[in-house]
């Protein structure tokens, strides 16, 4: 990146990629989907609570089975008292780079479908899947707003539950680092080389007409 | 709806909602997120394979842990030989309205992380969550293209596996009906009353600063 998000706080999503990062979709899709990627170099700048809640707002409009909305979010902005508790629940490798993010969010999901009084009416088939839809909304709104996100499954579940008081009924789905893209040169050598949008399998390996291929 | 998608094939997403359907977000988000909803009245029109693959293209650019891309899609367009097989795997209630959709997609996810040779390197923590992110991308691109989607957990898993030859390693996450909005008057009375975008819990019930509230 030759400019940072700080230089130009309202980057259009296209301009967030340089030529060497270009992803070329096979079909005509909204450029937002390929502009969203998962950097590790964040600039350590502050994010306001409103900027963060705007991302969670997009998340809450995701679809879910029976509109059960199983997603929950525990968040900290850098500088918040709870920042270290959330950061400390990540595995050390992720702590090393996510410490430069502007916000951390843990995404949880309710394993149960609920009666109006909150009691369980049985296991949910789709709580993780639905929470994943909320996560995509969050990530896309972030890209739209000149931010990027990086989802992590690299966290210590027991530490996370203890640090954030997470009830057993809620699955810890992922931790999310959110921020403005920073200088990749600040990353260790090995990570610097990986600091670009990743490619994808082509649809022929993913999408099948009528039935799974024999 | 006073017009159908067929009258105006390139509806902007705002124009897909009437006043009585209006969702008012609490923070300034891309209007696409609230324009996406889950109708049951589809118009039974045809969708081309390219129109469908464009939605799956958006899906494949979703984020996933270690970029494992655990999502898989089995699809049928109405008129395809396999249409009845996919439709027949839904519970009868869903068959009753999804039969007017233009395409059906079953979303699967790989329960395993994989070595380059395809052998398992252990259970995936996030396969359902990641597949949910792909589903949100699919749904948002659909709305962007004047279509809507309706996700269903109401399918018969054994029937789905048998009809589509789905391997045990892959979880059946959801079935998706895709189409252009049709005339709600064609729905049975009870469903007609529910044929509008659903509301959401407010963020104060979903998002917590630093820790789960006691």
DSSP letters of A129-181? HHHHHHHHHHHHHHHHTT-EEEEE--B-HHHHHHHHT--TTEEEEEEEEEE-B
Contacts of A123 in chain B (CB under 8 A): none
> What six digits make up the tokens of B151?
């996700």
Q: Are the CB atoms for B105 and B176 separated by under 8 Å?
A: yes
User: Which of A59, A107, A210, A213 has the most B C-beta neighbours within 10 Å, making it the best mutation to test the interface with B?
Assistant: A210
DSSP B212: -
pTM: 0.91
With a CB-CB cutoff of 8 Å, which residues 112-151 of chain A face chain B?
125-126, 128-137, 139-141, 144, 149, 151
What's the pLDDT score for residue B21? Answer: 59
With a CB-CB cutoff of 8 Å, which residues 65-94 of chain A face chain B?
65-67, 69, 71-76, 80-82, 85-86
Which residues are CB-neighbours of A151 under 8 A, at least 6 positions away?
A38, A135, A139, A174, A175, A176, B63, B65
Span A127-163, pLDDT tens digits: 999 999 999 999 999 999 999 999 999 999 999 999 9
Q: Cβ separation of A128 and B133 shorter than 8 Å?
A: no
Q: Are the CB atoms for A26 and B57 separated by under 8 Å?
A: yes
* Residue A65 exposure: Cα atoms within 13 Å on the Cβ side: 26
Q: Can you tell me whether residue A42 is helix, strand or coil?
A: strand
> How far away is chain A from the Cα of B3, in angstroms, using its nearest Cα?
24
> What six digits make up the tokens of A82?
């709870």
Q: Can you tell me whether residue B160 is helix, strand or coil?
A: helix
Span B26-40, pLDDT tens digits: 999 999 999 999 999
Least CB–CB distance from A30: residue in B67, B132, B144: B144
| C-alpha torsion B26→B30→B32→B33, nearest 10 | -40
User: Does A21 contact chain B (CB < 8 Å)?
Assistant: no
DSSP letters of A66-78?
A: GG---EEEEEEET
Task: Using DSSP bridges, classify how beta strands B103-110 and B112-114 pair: parallel, antiparallel or unpaired.
Answer: unpaired
> What six digits make up the tokens of B94?
């869903």
Q: Can you tell me whether residue B74 is helix, strand or coil?
A: strand
Q: Cβ separation of B28 and A173 shorter than 8 Å?
A: no
Which residues are CB-neighbours of A170 under 8 A, at least 6 positions away?
A72, A108, A109, A110, A111, B212
Q: Cβ separation of A207 and B62 shorter than 8 Å?
A: no
Q: State the ipTM, two decimals.
A: 0.91
What's the pLDDT score for residue A110? Answer: 98
Rounded Cα distance between A101 and A87, Å, is 10
What's the pLDDT score for residue B129? Answer: 99
Q: What number of residues does chain B have?
A: 214
Least CB–CB distance from B80: residue in A54, A129, A210: A210
Residue A11 has pLDDT above 90, yes or no: no
Least CB–CB distance from B61: residue in A34, A69, A131: A34
> How far away is chain A from the Cα of B137, in angstroms, using its nearest Cα?
7
- Neighbour order of strands in the sheet with A71-77: A148-152, A170-179, A103-110, A71-77, B207-209
Q: Is the dihedral of CA B194, A132, B212, A56 positive or negative?
A: negative
Q: Identify which of A2, A138, A177, A161 has the alpha carbon closest to the alpha carbon of residue A60.
A: A138
User: Does B21 contact chain A (CB < 8 Å)?
Assistant: no
Q: Give the pLDDT mean for B44-49.
A: 97
Span A60-70, pLDDT tens digits: 999 999 999 99
Task: Using DSSP bridges, classify how beta strands B120-123 and B112-114 pair: parallel, antiparallel or unpaired.
Answer: antiparallel
Which residues are CB-neighbours of B65 under 8 A, at least 6 positions away?
A151, A152, A153, A174, B124, B125, B126, B130
Bridge partners of B83, per DSSP, are none
Angle between helices A127-144 and B127-144 (to 10 degrees): 50
Contacts of B56 in chain A (CB under 8 A): 203, 206-207
Lowest mean pLDDT among A12-16, A94-98, A143-147, B128-132: A12-16
User: Does B39 contact chain A (CB < 8 Å)?
Assistant: no
User: Which of A129, A170, A206 has the most B C-beta neighbours within 10 Å, making it the best mutation to test the interface with B?
Assistant: A129
Q: Is the dihedral of CA B117, B120, B121, B126 positive or negative?
A: positive
What's the pLDDT score for residue A14? Answer: 42
Least CB–CB distance from B133: residue in A26, A133, A141: A133
Rounded Cα distance between B36 and A63, Å, is 8
> Percentage of chain B surpassing pLDDT 70?
90
Going by pLDDT thresholds of 50, 70 and 90, the confidence category of residue A1 is very low
Task: Using DSSP bridges, classify how beta strands A207-209 and B148-152 pair: parallel, antiparallel or unpaired.
Answer: unpaired
Bridge partners of A148, per DSSP, are A179
Residue B142 has pLDDT above 90, yes or no: yes
Bridge partners of B174, per DSSP, are B107
């Amino acid at each position: 990146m030759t400019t940072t998000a700080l230089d130009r706080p309202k980057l259009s999503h296209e301009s967030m990629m340089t030529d060497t990062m270009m992803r070329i979709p096979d079909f005509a899709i909204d450029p937002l989907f390929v502009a969203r990627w998962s950097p590790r170099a964040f600039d350590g700048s502050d994010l306001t609570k409103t900027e963060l809640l705007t991302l969670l707002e997009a998340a809450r409009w995701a679809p879910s089975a029976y509109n059960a909305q199983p997603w929950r979010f525990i968040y900290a902005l850098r500088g918040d008292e709870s920042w270290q508790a959330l950061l400390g629940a990540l595995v050390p490798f992720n702590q090393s780079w996510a410490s430069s993010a502007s916000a951390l969010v843990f995404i949880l999901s309710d394993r149960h479908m609920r009666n109006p009084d909150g009691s369980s009416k049985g296991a949910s088939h789709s709580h993780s899947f639905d929470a994943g839809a909320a996560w995509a909304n969050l990530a896309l709104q972030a890209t739209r707003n000149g931010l990027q996100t990086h989802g992590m499954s690299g966290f210590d579940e027991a530490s996370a539950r203890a640090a954030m008081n997470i009830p057993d009924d809620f699955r810890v789905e992922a931790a999310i680092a959110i921020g403005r893209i920073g200088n990749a040169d600040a990353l260790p050598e090995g990570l610097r080389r990986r600091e670009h949008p990743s490619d994808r399998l082509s649809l022929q390996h993913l999408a099948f007409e009528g039935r799974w291929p024999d």
